[in-house]
Amino acid sequence: MLTPEERYRERAQRKKELVDRRIARATTDRGVVVVNTGNGKGKSSSGFGMLARSLGHGFRCGVVQFIKGSFSTGEDLFFRTMGEAFADRLEYHVMGEGFTWETQDRERDIAAAQAAWAVAARMLADEDVDFVLLDELNIALVKEYIGVEQVLAALAARPPRQHVVITGRGAPDALVEAADTVTEMRLVKHAFKAGIMAQKGIEL
């Protein structure tokens, strides 16, 4: 009869063999499209975490924020103001004019989204850009400010080794299908519903 330590070691060995087989099968080396969607918190935070990771690897990176343009966020302050060490490797654009319930002007929102997409499309076509974060692009797609087909075409035509992260609620089915990795954040509980203001370092 096996001891608890022997059973633990046996389970760990089986797990290792499974993981090793999966690693051995993963032989394709190319850029991936990551979509973070869902109603839960953390979509943009995850994207900016991958931005930091990419900069750490020496990548040249681009960021386009499609919606969050009416107030300054911590990531904006950090990457744009305090990121002088990698300023030559990071192109950062805050293109939105705020949430749609604040602007209350569809034509203005469409114009802002189209201007943001023009910048994003340029980055997606640039072989020198290794990583592109399109923050809150899904919102612009859901609102039909930008056509899904033109986004899919740009993703398909991008440089083979370029990574792209797209965030925002309600990712269209066609984008989910085209992406390599899709994560849906599920809302379980949020401080805002209890009347707690958005906090610097957490939401801002």
The model's pTM is: 0.88
At 174, list the tokens.
């066609």
At 168, list the tokens.
């925002």
Mean pLDDT of 193-202: 81
Class of domain 31-194: alpha beta
Q: Work out the pLDDT band at 198, boundaries 50, 70, 90.
A: confident
Domain ranges of the chain: 31-194
Residue 167, pLDDT above cutoff 70: yes
In the predicted model, what is the mean pLDDT of the chain?
89
- Cα 117 to Cα 2, 104, 171, 180: the distances in Å are 61, 20, 16, 21
CA distance 102 to 55: 33
